[in-house]
Amino acid sequence: MARDDTQYTLPREADTRNEAAVRAFLRGWDDQDLDAAMAQCAPDIVYLNQPLPPIVGQADVAKLIGSLLEPARKVQFKLLNLFGSGDLVVAERLDQWDWDGNGFTLKLPVTGIFELTPDGRIREWREYYDNTHWTRYGGPSLEL
């Protein structure tokens, strides 16, 4: 839903809660803890790596995230900006990946837009980044 009204008001508590959910989700990646990450996701989650096809539903999203975390030696998502508004949270990041124990050879500038349900679960996650940069520095396939 477009958000064009500059006058709208927003419940601050929901922003804080949604921001915490997204932080916990991203911490799950840092900890390479798939269950912790998935605990923040709604059953019908849609995960979109722009401009690739969307991945829909907990089972497939867990499969894809697992396929990324499994081969990684170390993952560290550096948060540059994270804030919410209404049911949205943006996370501007530098995602750092170590695939082979030789340090963070992939440093991916990326911004994720998260849409959350009224009970604070992630129902849509849209990632914006350069896919060539991801694959060039060892990023695995992002398609199932």
Partner 1 sequence: MSSTTIAKDPKVARNEQVVRSFIQAWRDLDVDAAMSHLAPDIEYINQPLDPIVGADGVRKLIKSLIDRTHWVDWELKNVFGSGDTVCTERLDCWDFDGKGVGLRLPCVGMFDLNDDGKITGWRDYFDIALWTDNGGPTLEL
Residues that bind partner 1 (CB under 8 A): 2-4, 6-14, 17, 50-51, 81, 83-86, 88, 90, 92, 108-111, 113, 126, 128-133
Taking CA atoms, 124 is separated from 14, 23, 78, 105, 136, in Å, by 17, 15, 21, 28, 26
Task: Tell me the closest approach of the beta carbon of residue 17 to partner 1, in angstroms.
Answer: 8
Size of the chain, expressed as the number of residues it contains: 144
Task: Tell me the closest approach of the beta carbon of residue 28 to partner 1, in angstroms.
Answer: 22
Q: Which tokens go with 89?
A: 């949270």
Q: What's the rounded Cα separation, in Å, for the pair 114 and 64? A: 17
Indicate the residue type of 123. Answer: R
Task: Tell me the closest approach of the beta carbon of residue 22 to partner 1, in angstroms.
Answer: 13
Task: Tell me the closest approach of the beta carbon of residue 3 to partner 1, in angstroms.
Answer: 5
